[in-house]
Structure 1
Amino acid sequence: MGTVIMHNVVSVDGFIADENDDVGPLHDWYFNGDTPITEAGDQQYDHSGAGSGFKVSSASAKYVRPMWEEIGTIVMGRNLFDLVNGWEGQPPAGDHVVVVSHRPKPEGWHPEASYHFVDDVTAAIDKAQELAGERTVAVNAGEVGSQIFAAGLVDEVAMDVVPAVFGSGKRYFGSIDGQHLLEDPHVVIQGDRVLHLKFKVRR
């Protein structure tokens, strides 16, 4: 099985969006460099769902590009799916998407896309790993991500920390209870207006 990584861009005070799901300046670093994340500079989708080519600093590209190439499946919650309309069936990384939701896939929505709707976080990870094989399963942070993390199903936490303070909003770790320990960061990379961190989850 591939590694399960919980991942998101986050403010220094731990928020992934404001109360209205607006990411504000959190994704600015995706567009402030001169190096495409994808080799071909493909059109991709940011959190707002607006198509745009990602161009980052060379330091960020060296980190993000291989990470994205390793992703086989993305796991997301229904809230994010609805916000970006599932990236119109074309996820920014990976070949498959698992959506944790009590509601089914919208009728007639991109039947060609490998999107799977399940109503349980454990079943979501099982399905994601089945689809990803040896590749990485990337879990979006937030409420669904925190449930997967609390269930002990996350191997690593990856945070792209942006120098911004939100004060309130949607938390990276959602409404998780209790203390959970991570190992020391094994990746620390400074990009332009972003700090890339990766921690293994302490078992």
Structure 2
Amino acid sequence: MSTVIMHSVMSVDGFIADENDEVGTLHDWYFDGDVPIGGGGGDEYDHSGTGGGVRVSKASAEYVRSTWEQIGTIVMGRTLFDLVNGWEGRPPTGDHVVVVSHRPKPEGWHPEASYHFVDDVTAAIGKARELAGDRSVAVNAGDVGGQILAAGLVDEVAMDVVPVVFGSGKRFFGRVDRQHLLEDPHVVIQGERVLHLRYKVRR
């Protein structure tokens, strides 16, 4: 069964964006390095949807490349889908996307893309696992990610922590309202202007 990994880049005080969904300097490390991260067919990944290829530091490159290559399906909320217009049907990694939303896919939107709109987090993870096969499911952090964690469906939490303090904004874990225990980190990698951490969720 696929491993479900909740992931995002975040500030040291736990925010993935400000109140206006702006990420500020959080993603700068994706483009400030010397090592290009190649995607399928020899193309470079474009995690941001801005059209620029990802180039990370040598310290981050192996971790980022191996993590992205393992992803079969991305699970995202409707807010992020609308913000990036679903990456125009071309996700930054993986072959499939499941969007948690009470609204259907926009009419006529990239019919060729493997995007599936599901209105329940449990059903969304079920569909994502089915599509991912033996690869992992990447859940974007935020409100939807927090709901999936609260439902007991997240196996691991992966954070790329950037040394900036936001003070307020959109929280990594959304509106989770009770304690969840994680194991000690089994990945700790210091990149340039980013710290990669990965924890298993304690059962």
Query: What TM-score comes out, normalization by structure 1 length?
Result: 0.97
The Cα shift of 1:182 comes to: 0.2
Q: Give the CA deviation at 1:12.
A: 0.2
Unaligned runs of 5+ residues in structure 2 are none
Contact in 2 for aligned 1:43/1:53 (Cα 8 Å)? yes
* 1:43–1:51 CA contact under 8 A, matched in 2: no
Does the aligned pair in 2 maintain the 1:60–1:191 contact within 8 Å?
yes
Q: Percent identity?
A: 79
TM-superposition CA deviations, 1:80-127 (whole Å, max 9, x none): 000000000000010000000000000000000000000000000000
User: Is 2:16 the counterpart of 1:16?
Assistant: yes
- What is the alpha-carbon distance in structure 1 between the residues aligned to residue 6 and residue 12 of structure 2? 17
CA contact (8 A) 1:45 1:92 kept: yes
Give the match for residue 161 of structure 2.
Answer: 161
Kindly report structure 1 stretches of 4+ aligned residues shifted beyond 3 Å: none
Hey, what's the Cα distance between the residues in 1 that align with 2:9 and 2:45?
Answer: 20
User: For 2:198, what is the secondary structure of its paired residue?
Assistant: strand
Give me the whole-angstrom Cα distance separating, in 1, the residues matched to 2:111 and 2:59.
37
- Code of the residue aligned with 1:135 in structure 2: it is R
- The alpha-carbon deviation at position 178 of structure 1 amounts to 1.1
Amino acid at match of 1:114: S
- Residue 2 of structure 1 deviates from its aligned partner by 1.1
Within 5 A, what are the aligned runs for 1:1-203? 1-38=1-38, 40-42=42-44, 44-46=46-48, 49-203=49-203
CA–CA distance in structure 1, aligned partners of residues 28 and 66 of structure 2: 20
The whole-number CA distance in structure 2 between the counterparts of 1:187 and 1:23 is 24
- Which whole-Å CA distance do the structure 2 matches of 1:180 and 1:94 have between them? 28
Cα drift, residue 65 of structure 1: 0.1
**Is the CA contact 2:156–2:201 (under 8 Å) kept in the aligned structure 1?**
yes
Give SS of 2:19's match.
coil
User: TM-score w.r.t. structure 2 length?
Assistant: 0.97
CA distance in 2, matches of 1:134, 1:62: 21
Q: Secondary structure at the match of 1:76?
A: strand
Residues matched between the structures, number: 201
How far residue 136 of structure 1 moved from its aligned partner, in angstroms, is 0.2
Q: Structure 2: which amino acid aligns with 1:150?
A: A
Q: Give, in whole Å, the separation in 1 of the partners of 2:47 and 2:29.
A: 14
Q: Deviations over 1:120-144 (max 9, x none)?
A: 0000000000000110000000000
| Amino acid across the alignment from 2:184 | D
Q: Which runs of 5+ in 1 are unaligned?
A: none
Q: How far 1:41 sits from its partner (Å)?
A: 4.8
Q: CA RMSD in A?
A: 0.9
- Rounded to whole Å, the distance in 1 between the matches of 2:126 and 2:199 is 22
Amino acid at match of 1:192: E
